[in-house]
Structure 1
Amino acid sequence: EVGLLMTSELFAATNALLSSPQLRSALSDPSAQAAGKSKLVEAVFGPKLSKETVGLLGKMAQMRWSATRDLALTAEALGVRAAAAASKDIDAVQAELFAVGQIVSSDPQLELALSSTRASVEAKMVLVAKLLNNKATETTSILAGQAVHSRTFKRFAEVLEQYGMWIAEFAGESVANIRASKELSEDQLSRLSSALTKVFGRELQLNVEIDQEIIGGLHITVNGEVLDATVLTKLQNARLQLG
């Protein structure tokens, strides 16, 4: 598929940029001539990637970046969005990414094996393949594979969470990640969803994680931001009872 091809190519470009500080610096240099950057993009990526992807990378190289790493991060984000655009079931992909992230984050040894900079990419890819066990969608498999290479965050599960947020943004959604000390009933989830919808003025996708270290109550982040006292007060005013 065209969308997944661009995803794979953008991820390949991302990894090339991450592995070469010299390339990142050359393409991010604000003092460099645009023509020179275009030639460099063509020389490095032209023989390997499609004209569409090379053209996109060329346009990105013309932009001004506050840090050289931002160019690679943007290519990675665009790759995730291209995957979302190509997916026939975005909800399934989001659910799978969340489920895999929960499995990994709940197993310290597995998390270390997938997040350690000492482990080889090949070994990590084998672990990811075993984890997915040919049961995930093609889109999820590609995203989980890229998460092994990613330097967006130090932890593998955090990378998957970020991918989920990028996909939600593409779909026009917002994500609320909820950590609770025990399972929430359907009624509790419904009331929590209604309260958050009132606070934010839009419906949110709820991802719930059971965390035994949470002593009562909930820990809620929306699109990566922890709810502040004002939002918590509004939730209290909504008389949400989760006990």
Structure 2
Amino acid sequence: MAGAVSRASLAEITDNFANFSKNADATVLGAELLEILHLLDREHGLRRALSDPAKPGEEKANIAQALFEGKVSAPALAILKDVVSRKWSRPSELTDAVEQLAIGSYALAAEQNGTLDDLEDELFRFSRLVEGEPELRNALAGQRLPAERKTELVSALIADKVAAPSLALINEVVTNPRGRSLERGLAEIGKNIATRRNRLVATVRTAVALTDEQQTRLAAALGASYGRGVHLNIEIDPTVIGGLAVQLGDEAIDGTIAGRLDGVRRRIAS
């Protein structure tokens, strides 16, 4: 978990992001921020220099200016200078912040296209696809295939089924996991997008598909309980016998017959 200093810096740059990105091509901005992220992840000395708390923020911003001016767009450079001028508890938290802003750029692109809900759904469906296909997961998460082949495999599977922001973010997690499992990386992106929309994500397991009306009622009920909007990720699970199982953060709400029967069995056995 990020330290207090980094949390404060992240809040400030997130607030400033809207101004820096308002006239930008959000898709291009996302791609540029990811390229900056890749460079900072590779160049440990540069990352330490740009996150050094002993250096004045202006000095670090000038280093970023000298390195990246003319190589990235003005909005991307402005965002990077804002990031490096802040204080960070650890160098890795600076790069984590750049990643979050890149995700925010792709979320902005989806929002501008009216496909932000689709972005969240597509990321969730891809995570379920790889969980259900061990060979595919091993190919994408393993070390045997080079990044280019992984990108080709992802494109062959879903390029014509998802929007461009979804494809870009999925390829990023697959080719640059940054020490995370594939599932965790996708989940963190989904959580990041939901947080930017000030809403929670609930995974709902059900034996049969829910109608649009049922989903609307469930999201409204959960939102009323938690005081925030809730996005539903629906998972069809034949093992669910009647009712719904809802996972929202660390909290599980099991309203299924199967869950109640399992609870009875545990009480009998105890």
TM-score (norm 2): 0.73
| Aligned residue pair count | 231
Judged with a 3 Å threshold, the aligned counterparts in structure 2 of structure 1 residues 135 and 110 are, in CA distance, closer, same or farther, namely same
Asked if 1:90 corresponds to 2:116, the answer is yes
Q: What's the Cα RMSD here?
A: 2.9
Q: Answer yes or no: is the 8 Å Cα contact 1:101–1:158 preserved in 2.
A: no
Which residue of the other structure, out of 102, 106, 115, is the alignment partner of 2:141?
Answer: 115
Offset at residue 103 of structure 1 (A): 0.8
Offset at residue 106 of structure 1 (A): 1.2
Judged with a 3 Å threshold, the aligned counterparts in structure 2 of structure 1 residues 2 and 199 are, in CA distance, closer, same or farther, namely same
Question: Aligned equivalents of 1:153 and 1:173: distance in 2?
Answer: 27
Judged with a 3 Å threshold, the aligned counterparts in structure 2 of structure 1 residues 55 and 192 are, in CA distance, closer, same or farther, namely closer
Which residue of the other structure, out of 92, 95, 119, is the alignment partner of 1:69?
Answer: 92
Q: Identity, % of aligned pairs?
A: 28
Q: Which residue of 1 aligns with 2:155?
A: 129
Judged with a 3 Å threshold, the aligned counterparts in structure 2 of structure 1 residues 122 and 170 are, in CA distance, closer, same or farther, namely same
Offset at residue 30 of structure 1 (A): 0.6
For structure 2, which runs of at least 5 residues remain unmatched after alignment? 1-23, 259-270
Offset at residue 154 of structure 1 (A): 2.0
Judged with a 3 Å threshold, the aligned counterparts in structure 2 of structure 1 residues 67 and 220 are, in CA distance, closer, same or farther, namely farther
Offset at residue 134 of structure 1 (A): 2.5
Which residue of the other structure, out of 71, 94, 115, is the alignment partner of 1:48?
Answer: 71
Judged with a 3 Å threshold, the aligned counterparts in structure 2 of structure 1 residues 214 and 74 are, in CA distance, closer, same or farther, namely farther
TM-score (norm 1): 0.80
For structure 1, which runs of at least 5 residues remain unmatched after alignment? none
Task: Show CA shifts across 1:31-85 (max 9, x none).
Answer: 1243432232123322421122112111111111122111111111111111111
Offset at residue 241 of structure 1 (A): 5.5
Q: Which residue of 2 aligns with 1:101?
A: 127
Offset at residue 27 of structure 1 (A): 0.9
Q: Which residue of 1 aligns with 2:264?
A: none
Offset at residue 147 of structure 1 (A): 1.7
Offset at residue 152 of structure 1 (A): 5.2
Q: Which residue of 1 aligns with 2:250?
A: 226
Q: Which residue of 2 aligns with 1:79?
A: 102
Q: Answer yes or no: is the 8 Å Cα contact 1:15–1:149 preserved in 2.
A: no
Give the secondary-structure state (helix, strand or coil) at the position aligned to 1:66: coil
Judged with a 3 Å threshold, the aligned counterparts in structure 2 of structure 1 residues 59 and 121 are, in CA distance, closer, same or farther, namely same
What is the identity, as a one-letter code, of the residue corresponding to 1:16?
A: L
Question: Aligned equivalents of 2:104 and 2:80: distance in 1?
Answer: 15
Judged with a 3 Å threshold, the aligned counterparts in structure 2 of structure 1 residues 216 and 151 are, in CA distance, closer, same or farther, namely farther
